[in-house]
Amino acid sequence: MKYIIIITFLTTLLGSNSLDRNVVKILSSEEFKTQIENKSVQLIDVRTPKEFQSGHITGAENIDFYSDKFAFEFNKLDKDKAVYVYCRSGSRSNKASKKLVELGFIEIYDLKGGFLNYK
């Protein structure tokens, strides 16, 4: 019985990671720019408001990853439409992408290297 529980746990854990990879796509700076350029997209900067005010990608909305309202603000967006996320260096947007999968988003694009890498 103990082995069945362990196998079930591992299957669930590994299956979840597989789902994340299918839903979340990591894009290079060039790919990200091409996909958002001159288009109406859900473009979200998950940095703090102070970081956002110091510079951001044109058209981005700021939803702070550390905010208590993170899930609330994302739940206002269309989960069936692609969402593009970025942060400073890629770490927070990676964590944010995982949360978005849990919230039910089905198409997530994360900027590799974050805003620091954006050209």
Q: Which residues are catalytic?
A: 87
Residue 115 CB neighbour total at 10 angstroms: 22
Smallest Cα–Cα separation from 117: which of 86, 92, 84, 94? Answer: 86
Distance of alpha carbon 116 from alpha carbon 21, whole angstroms: 23
Are 111 and 90 in contact, with CB atoms under 8 Å apart? yes
What's the length of the chain? 119
